[in-house]
Amino acid sequence: MTIECLVLGAGQEVGKSCVVVSIGGRRIMFDCGMHMGYLDNRRYPDFSRISESGDFNAALTCIVITHFHLDHVGALPYFTELCGYNGPIYMTYPTKALAPLMLEDYRKVMVERRGEEEQFSFDHIVDCMKKVTAIDLKQVIQVDKDLSICAYYAGHVLGAAMIYAKVGDNAMVYTGDYNMTPDRHLGAAQIDRLELDLLITESTYATTIRDSKYAREREFLKAVHKCVDAGGKVLIPTFALGRAQELCLLLDDYWERMNLKVPIYFSAGLTIQANMYYKMLIGWTSQKIKEAYGTRNAFDFKHGYCVAGTVGHKLMSGKPTRIDLDKDTCIDVRCQIHQMSFSPHTDAKGIMDLLSFLSPKHVILVHGEKPKMAILKGRIESELGIPCFYPANNEAVSVPARQTIRVDVTKSFLRNHFNRNFNRSKHELLCVSDTRIAEGILLMEKNKIAKIVSENDLLHTLDAKKHTVQLAFCCPVKVKNSLQSLDFSTGGTKPLPGESNSEPNPPQPGKLLRAASGFASERIRTHHVTQGPVHLSDIAHPDSPLDGPDTAPNNLSQPSEMNASFETPFHSLLELLSREFESKIDCCNIQKTFDHLRLKSFQARICLNDLCSYRIQQGQSDCKTETFFCCSWSLSDDILARKLLGIMREVELDISNIAFLLPDQASEHMEM
């Protein structure tokens, strides 16, 4: 399953934001903006890429607008009223309030002042906004039974929102424009830590790290004060709604502190109308403004504000001496020009901070300049390890998405899983993380919900008997010579090399084993009286066959309760081998019993059968004897078993460390 992103606007450019995302069988249009730099058909996204037939209601599930700037909402009336889209449209309450003002102001400027052909009328704007559903922050909107969306605070301008969309287990965020640092009238962007397949983010300042906003404010106020103090006049053109309010707050506060009497003139128009909504929508502003609202509305400016048109761009282009406003009007330029940036967009650090916080599986960059986007892409992939793309307009990018299957689980599976975790030792629980991995079998039957079952469930379903595959090897382990080496096959001793074998030391088959068993039985009787019952099946009896894993008793996996009560040759050598395992691999839970070791399915016990079918006979060195250990394990633990066998083939057990092999109390049994 994939998520497809079709970029219709703001691909490798700033302007005309419009991105169509196909996710989980749903198709969402994020923003529907116009490009302010074009007057031909390039001003609008190429909507034919959505549907060649023009049936946009069938092609789109919904439209979501992030904020009221024209490069994000400017094409919406054209798309709904002229192209015929009648489906769901969502935007926040402030955006729904301010977008009509922006659209009507644009229409008046283009048609009534410039005399251009009308793209949409005032009635079109009104009818378009009737189709809009207003949403609040963090309000989960169920668009249909599968698609849900949620808006998060984006800063930037009043009402701007990041949009979280989720279909099934697939999720994404479209940021729109956002700001990761607060300013005077808005807070910083805020979003929950979400698990995302895709993040589509603006990259206006992809390579810029902005200086302190306080330094910029001081520079701005210093320039303004210097001009008015010398008897001059200051003209402040602001292109974007929202920046006008920011500078109004800054100037108003400074005029109060400096007790300046110079008037600030407000041009009648959009900003005055917008201020009315800013006063009403205090809840969407910064914490400082909300706290001061009880005594004063910060947007009740005592000194007013003057907003200009688009002449500012011409003034910033070089050092012009004359500017042509239109074919009939020409103005001489005699003013000084001081350019400063109070952008509400996040910078490169803010983008990286957001990506680091959300850690999406994939990133797509929009709303930026191509060379800078390429640099940011490199940083994202090298520093964060996240695949990143920056498609051009009318290009599509597909990224993989998670695909999950809803399944049931049987009670037997759950019981086995929890029992497995419950039976872990304290040391093992400290060695693992809180994440638990459950192993089961996915059973899919026709016309039934898939379910995860245990092995026994599957056998019952198939009416089959359980079959297990065990691997086995009788592994030789080198034993360092002490004064005498024990011979487990005879119960006697072997002379060291160079020693005479003239003194009678006849083999006594089973004698040593019987002595150990008799001594163990005596200690068990004492243990039974003092500490409770111990079963003799926990130890090996003289009559018990010990010729390999195929004849091992069923209860050998249970730890013996008498381990701490006595030591035998078997137990002592197994203890030495256990220590070797623990020193060479990370094994937290080796089970040690009277006659065997167990780690997961791997078991090792001393083998007394010289004809063991799992043994490969090898020559004996001059200074070492070999004791054989019969080992068995399941296929699932084959890698572990081979590591353990490798240790056993290389290790040398020093029997001088177990010189106490048989306590004095056992001597009476040797006389049998």
pLDDT band at 342 (very low <50, low <70, confident <90, very high): low
Q: What pLDDT, on a 0 to 100 scale, did the predictor assign at position 80?
A: 97
Q: Do 260 and 298 belong to one domain?
A: yes
Handedness of CA 285, 289, 291, 292 (dihedral sign): negative
Q: Do 26 and 132 belong to one domain?
A: yes
Residue 538, in any domain of the structure: no
Q: How confident is the model over 325-349, as a mean pLDDT?
A: 72
Pick from 2-6, 246-250, 438-442, 584-588 the range whose average pLDDT is largest: 2-6
Residue 198, in any domain of the structure: yes
Q: Are 14 and 368 in contact (CB under 8 A)?
A: yes
Q: Do 71 and 149 belong to one domain?
A: yes
Can you read off the two tokens belonging to residue 17?
Answer: 């934001």
Question: What HEC string does 299-318 produce?
Answer: CCCCCCCCCCCCHHHHHHCC
Residue 185, in any domain of the structure: yes
Q: Do 38 and 185 belong to one domain?
A: yes
- Going from the C-alpha of 505 to that of each of 21, 487, 511, the distances in angstroms are 88, 12, 13
Q: What pLDDT, on a 0 to 100 scale, did the predictor assign at position 554?
A: 37
Q: What pLDDT, on a 0 to 100 scale, did the predictor assign at position 550?
A: 41
Q: Do 195 and 90 belong to one domain?
A: yes
Task: Using a pLDDT cut of 90, give the percent of the chain over it.
Answer: 35
pLDDT band at 446 (very low <50, low <70, confident <90, very high): confident
Residue-level length of the chain: 672
CA angle, corner 658, sides to 653 and 660, nearest 5?
A: 160
Residue 646, in any domain of the structure: yes
- Lowest pLDDT segment from 79-93, 335-349, 489-503, 636-650: 489-503
Q: What pLDDT, on a 0 to 100 scale, did the predictor assign at position 284?
A: 62
Q: Do 162 and 19 belong to one domain?
A: yes
Q: Are 185 and 285 in contact (CB under 8 A)?
A: yes
Residue 250 domain boundaries: 213-279+288-331
Domain boundary among 447, 467, 487: 467
Q: Chain-wide mean pLDDT for the chain? A: 76
How many angstroms from the chain centroid is the CA of residue 487?
59
Residue 509, in any domain of the structure: no
Q: What pLDDT, on a 0 to 100 scale, did the predictor assign at position 136?
A: 95
The tally of domains found in the chain comes to 4
Give 396's strand partners. Answer: 6
Helix (H, G, I), strand (E, B) or coil at 484: coil
Q: What pLDDT, on a 0 to 100 scale, did the predictor assign at position 242?
A: 62
Q: Which domain CATH number covers 237? A: 3.40.50.10890
pLDDT band at 6 (very low <50, low <70, confident <90, very high): very high
Residue 426, in any domain of the structure: no
d(C-alpha 514, C-alpha 535), whole Å: 17
Domain boundary among 429, 446, 467: 467
Q: What pLDDT, on a 0 to 100 scale, did the predictor assign at position 297?
A: 53
Neighbours of 460 (CB within 10 A): 13
Handedness of CA 313, 318, 321, 322 (dihedral sign): negative
Residue 558, in any domain of the structure: no
d(C-alpha 672, C-alpha 650), whole Å: 38
Q: Which domain CATH number covers 81? A: 3.60.15.10
Q: Do 154 and 90 belong to one domain?
A: yes
Answer yes or no: is pLDDT of 225 > 50.
yes
Higher pLDDT, 499 or 363: 363
| DSSP for residue 116 | P
Answer yes or no: is pLDDT of 193 > 90.
yes
pLDDT band at 522 (very low <50, low <70, confident <90, very high): very low
Helix (H, G, I), strand (E, B) or coil at 524: helix
Q: What pLDDT, on a 0 to 100 scale, did the predictor assign at position 415?
A: 79
Q: Do 184 and 303 belong to one domain?
A: no
d(C-alpha 51, C-alpha 505), whole Å: 99
Q: Do 54 and 167 belong to one domain?
A: yes
Q: Do 14 and 62 belong to one domain?
A: yes
Q: What pLDDT, on a 0 to 100 scale, did the predictor assign at position 295?
A: 55
d(C-alpha 365, C-alpha 355), whole Å: 12
Catalytic positions, please? 202
Q: What pLDDT, on a 0 to 100 scale, did the predictor assign at position 118?
A: 80
Q: What pLDDT, on a 0 to 100 scale, did the predictor assign at position 167?
A: 95
d(C-alpha 410, C-alpha 402), whole Å: 25
Q: Do 202 and 217 belong to one domain?
A: no
Q: Do 168 and 35 belong to one domain?
A: yes
Read off the pLDDT of residues 196-207 as tens digits, 9 standing for 90 and up: 999 999 998 888
Give 201's strand partners. Answer: 365
Residue 47, in any domain of the structure: yes
Q: Which has the closest alpha carbon to 337: 321, 326, 349, 352?
A: 321
d(C-alpha 322, C-alpha 649), whole Å: 94
d(C-alpha 270, C-alpha 160), whole Å: 18
Q: Are 361 and 399 in contact (CB under 8 A)?
A: yes
d(C-alpha 502, C-alpha 508), whole Å: 17
Q: What pLDDT, on a 0 to 100 scale, did the predictor assign at position 344?
A: 61
Q: What pLDDT, on a 0 to 100 scale, did the predictor assign at position 616?
A: 81
Range 130-159 burial, b when 16+ CB lie within 10 A, else e? eebebbebeeebebeeebebbbbbbbbbbb
